Chain A
């Protein structure tokens, strides 16, 4: 049996990065997302128009490089390019913040449930099962309608929709880790429960968490767009891709560009995050590395 001595140390994360790099789709996605983020932040600076600047002489005009409306204008004469960029800021920001909310709730809940185990775990998972059966989105819609549309509420409400999946997965992995011998060895080595959780269990969960962050962002952006589409998301003058798609859908017979540009940006973002998430999942696959080669 040959010994696998490498010339440089490779942490698990380093190993994962190497594998990810080989996944072309994921790599392209990362660059695309980086470009998009840059565009969304700096794009409006390149345009002479403001986000709520209406121009009655240019209502619903086609994309036109000469006039500077490179994406055209909407039905109120506002420059579409700038609006798509601003919409992107909101969509991406909501995506990231709500994901963080989801992940924090999910990881905490799942790891506690998995670690304590026994009856507490059974109870906590039962709660998850019950919540899973609820038409969550309907509740969120209710929340949005009844309690107003503060941006904070949006973050929390959307985040609260997706934590169940993460909680389940994290709990599963925690149980898996708990049964591994290095946890027993740590206990036999006199480590306190706190030490075991933070030094042994949590670091081994990180890989999984990173994957699910990447996979949750698109889901969350989807929910936000969904709400915005129904007219329940962010309020004017803020706009998001979902809201823009809504406006664009209503004008699509006469001004298809109003629909196509935000739709394209939205779809591309979701695509990229899904590819990245998939790639990360393959790279960090916690398959036990077997050495036997018969």
Chain B
């Protein structure tokens, strides 16, 4: 069956990317000067030697790499050097749900609002509405989220006292509103711009002219002829969008004090917790690759030109 072959070939294509990611991250972390024990008081040589043996740190690098990959496949990311009582897998599992809620909400909001705003702008091209939207778009991509976040806190928490300024607070929605907004804002702006550009291009294409000549009302033309070609590039953008949200979450979690993966990563980096840092990078990397793969496959099923060439 062609569909199966298509999915399979895409899956196959993702594997080298995955491997490259793991190798790169691994060697980068290993190449860092200073070992995992440098932060501690200097340990007696014997103890250090034992610890190193326990963590396989004396084995040749490629061997360590293979062992690491094997461990990952079993879900074992290794022990955390910083949080002695936990291993990395546990830390990831505790931090990820927080980040997932944050990032997931941000992407959905970005998609929903971005698409709607962009569509409105495109359908009202060169009117006041359009300029307003474009200005908003420009603002969104020009104000970084680490600038927006404190500003939001300043306005809504300190000034107006409507919303809490940080912390999970037991997971209430109130605590999520500001962080999600800060995270989603630049993406809403970007997707709005993308949608607007895409739709304007589609609206000026010849087949839309044909549809108008066929007496179809604007509403029908937009719904039937324009939506699909407009949003195909947006679907492609979802991959990089996820990556951007993940990156942005690092800062947003920091500012709002949310115990997500991003925050663990930064702490780990500053505290030289190599396994944690490596684990987070690999985890997030896999997530991005997986998501890109998903988007790719979905795209292949939606775009008829690829569908028929399968």
| A contact residues vs B (CB 8 Å cutoff) | 129-130, 132-135, 137-139, 141-143, 145-147, 218, 222, 225-226, 229-231, 242, 245-246, 248-249, 252-253, 256, 259, 263, 266-267, 270-271, 274-275
Q: A134-B285, A259-B150 are in contact. List 4 more A-B contacts (CB 8 A).
A: A130-B16, A139-B24, A252-B153, A252-B158
Determine, out of B56-64, B98-106, B135-143, the stretch whose residues face the partner at the interface: B135-143
Write the nearest CB–CB distance from A258 to chain B, whole angstroms: 10
* Chain B, interface SS category: helix
Write the nearest CB–CB distance from A166 to chain B, whole angstroms: 15
Q: Which 6 pairs between the two chains have the least Cβ-Cβ distance?
A: A146-B32, A249-B150, A270-B142, A271-B142, A145-B269, A130-B17
Chain B residues contacting A225 (CB-CB under 8 Å) are 144, 146-147
**How distant is the Cα of A46 from the Cα of B142 in the complex, in angstroms?**
29
Write the nearest CB–CB distance from B218 to chain A, whole angstroms: 24
Q: Is the CB of A142 within 8 A of B269?
A: yes
Chain A residues contacting B29 (CB-CB under 8 Å) are 142, 146
Most A CB contacts (10 A, CB to CB) among B158, B239, B269, B280 go to B269
B288, CB-defined interface residue at 8 Å: yes
Chain B residues contacting A271 (CB-CB under 8 Å) are 138-139, 142
Write the nearest CB–CB distance from A140 to chain B, whole angstroms: 10
Most A CB contacts (10 A, CB to CB) among B142, B270, B289 go to B142
Q: Is the CB of B265 within 8 A of A138?
A: yes
**How distant is the Cα of A33 from the Cα of B143 in the complex, in angstroms?**
16
Write the nearest CB–CB distance from B181 to chain A, whole angstroms: 16
Q: Is the CB of A133 within 8 A of B289?
A: yes
Given A218-B142, A271-B138, CB of A230 within 8 Å of CB of B266: yes
Chain A residues contacting B289 (CB-CB under 8 Å) are 133
A-B contact pairs, 18 of them (CB 8 A): A130-B17, A130-B21, A133-B288, A133-B289, A134-B288, A138-B284, A142-B29, A145-B272, A146-B28, A146-B33, A218-B142, A229-B251, A230-B250, A245-B146, A249-B153, A253-B158, A259-B154, A267-B142
Q: Is the CB of A256 within 8 A of B277?
A: no
Write the nearest CB–CB distance from B125 to chain A, whole angstroms: 14
Q: Is the CB of B21 within 8 A of A133?
A: yes
B281, CB-defined interface residue at 8 Å: yes
Q: Is the CB of B32 within 8 A of A139?
A: no
Most B CB contacts (10 A, CB to CB) among A138, A266, A271, A274 go to A138
B12, CB-defined interface residue at 8 Å: no
B151, CB-defined interface residue at 8 Å: yes
Q: Mark each residue of chain B from 123 to 159: 1 if its CB lies under 8 Å from any CB of chain A, else 0.
A: 0000000000000001101111011011101100010
Q: Is the CB of B269 within 8 A of A139?
A: no
Q: Mark each residue of chain B from 144 to 178: 1 if its CB lies under 8 Å from any CB of chain A, else 0.
A: 10110111011000100000000000000000000
